[in-house]
């Protein structure tokens, strides 16, 4: 299989896609989520049942940050806000996420983030584009900006998973991608799991605009893989707003949503942020 992939890597994207599909038939592999046998040719090593299980968040949620409400009591207001947004904690204008960070989504994100299953970036981008299409006014933007990695992490991994999502999303939306606007100035601590307080401390002031970047009066669509506490996108939004962005909307693939999905691990695992 490895020689086959090395051969395919030297071909154009259309031929690579066709050969990848053929390889999945000749060399059957298990689904990387449920480990069942893949029965269809796809560049994404996830069965259709598992992909279908990655369902959009639905139901009442905070009007600003998109946090799902567990109790119906919280949604009495026309535009209900969670306890953090009532305190005006966040610097972004709006945040929305495609799905809950449950068991299946955790594995899917890991495949993109650590195993270079890059076609998942385009699949996630398609889901985010659908969200924009459903609410074009609220999610309107002029540029797409991925949350950056620190240079040391980017060098180690070789790619930024947020950019693998942002790039095809920008193409679908017909917007320019501006990956160079933001930089991460401090690396993430080596500690794997952080408390909520540690998470906010480690990203406060950890993002900045490049000195030659211009963003005055632009509406920014900030893209990342997972929204946990909101600390990362908040720090990025703060840097963007200081540079003159007129509006910052954060769009993520997954959201840690404690209690939203009965029987799932949503919100239990605190994903490591770069």
pLDDT beyond 60 at 165: yes
pLDDT tens digits, residue range 21-55? 565 555 567 999 999 988 777 789 999 899 999 99
The dihedral built from the CA positions of residue 13, 22, 157 and 108, taken in this order, carries a sign that is positive
For residue 21, what pLDDT is reported? 57
For residue 78, what pLDDT is reported? 72
**Encoded tokens for 19:** 């050969």
Q: How far separated are the first and last CA of the chain, in Å rounded?
A: 31
Average model confidence (pLDDT) across the chain? 84
Q: Which of 56 and 39 is assigned the larger pLDDT?
A: 56
pLDDT beyond 90 at 135: yes
CATH of 91-255, one of 3.40.50.2020, 3.40.630.10, 3.90.226.10, 3.30.1370.10: 3.40.50.2020
How many Cβ atoms sit within 10 Å of the Cβ of residue 38?
Answer: 18
- pLDDT above 90 covers what percent of the chain? 62
| Intervals of CATH 3.40.50.2020 along the chain | 91-255
For residue 40, what pLDDT is reported? 75
Residues with Cβ within 8 Å of residue 261, at least 6 apart in sequence: 100, 102
Lowest mean pLDDT among 41-50, 105-114, 169-178: 41-50
pLDDT tens digits, residue range 238-268? 999 999 999 999 999 999 976 554 333 333 3
Lowest mean pLDDT among 3-12, 34-43, 64-73: 3-12
Per DSSP, the residues of the chain read -HHHHHHHHTS-HHHHHHHHHHHHHHS--B-TTT-PBP-S--SS-S-HHHHHT-PBP-S-B-TTT-PBPSSGGGG-SSS---HHHHTT--SSSEEEEEEE--HHHHHHHHHHHHS--THHHHHHHHHHHHHHHHSTTTT--SEEEEPPPBHHHHHHHSS-HHHHHHHHHHHHHT--B-TTSEEE-SPPPS-SS--HHHHHHHHTT-EEE-TT---TT-EEEEEEEEESSSHHHHHHHHHHHHTT-SEEEEEEEEE--TTSSTTS-TTTS-----
For residue 10, what pLDDT is reported? 54
- Residues 36/46, Cβ–Cβ less than 8 Å: no
Provide the whole-model pTM. 0.83
For residue 59, what pLDDT is reported? 84
């Amino acid at each position: 299989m490895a020689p086959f992939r090395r051969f395919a890597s030297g071909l154009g994207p259309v031929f690579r896609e066709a050969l990848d599909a053929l390889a999945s038939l000749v060399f059957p592999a298990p689904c990387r989520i449920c480990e069942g046998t893949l029965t269809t040719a796809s560049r994404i090593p996830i069965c259709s049942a598992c992909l279908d299980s990655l369902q959009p968040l639905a139901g009442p949620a905070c009007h600003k940050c998109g946090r799902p409400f567990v109790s119906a009591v919280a949604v009495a207001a026309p535009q209900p806000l969670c306890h953090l947004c009532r305190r005006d904690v966040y610097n972004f204008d709006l945040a929305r996420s495609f799905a809950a960070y449950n068991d299946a989504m955790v594995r899917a994100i890991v495949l993109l983030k650590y195993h270079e299953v890059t076609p998942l970036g385009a699949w996630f981008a398609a889901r985010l584009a659908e969200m924009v299409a459903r609410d074009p006014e609220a999610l309107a933007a002029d540029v797409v900006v991925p949350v950056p990695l620190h240079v040391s992490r980017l060098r180690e991994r070789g790619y930024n998973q947020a950019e693998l999502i942002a790039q095809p999303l920008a193409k679908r939306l017909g917007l320019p991608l501006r990956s160079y606007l933001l930089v991460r100035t401090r690396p993430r601590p080596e500690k794997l799991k952080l408390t909520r307080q540690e998470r906010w401390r480690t990203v406060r002031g950890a993002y900045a605009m490049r000195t030659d970047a211009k963003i005055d009066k632009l509406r920014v669509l900030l893209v990342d893989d997972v929204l946990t506490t909101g600390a990362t996108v908040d720090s990025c939004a703060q840097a963007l707003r200081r540079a003159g962005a007129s509006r910052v909307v954060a769009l993520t693939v997954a959201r840690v949503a404690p209690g939203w999905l009965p029987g799932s691990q949503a919100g239990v695992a605190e994903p490591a942020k770069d």
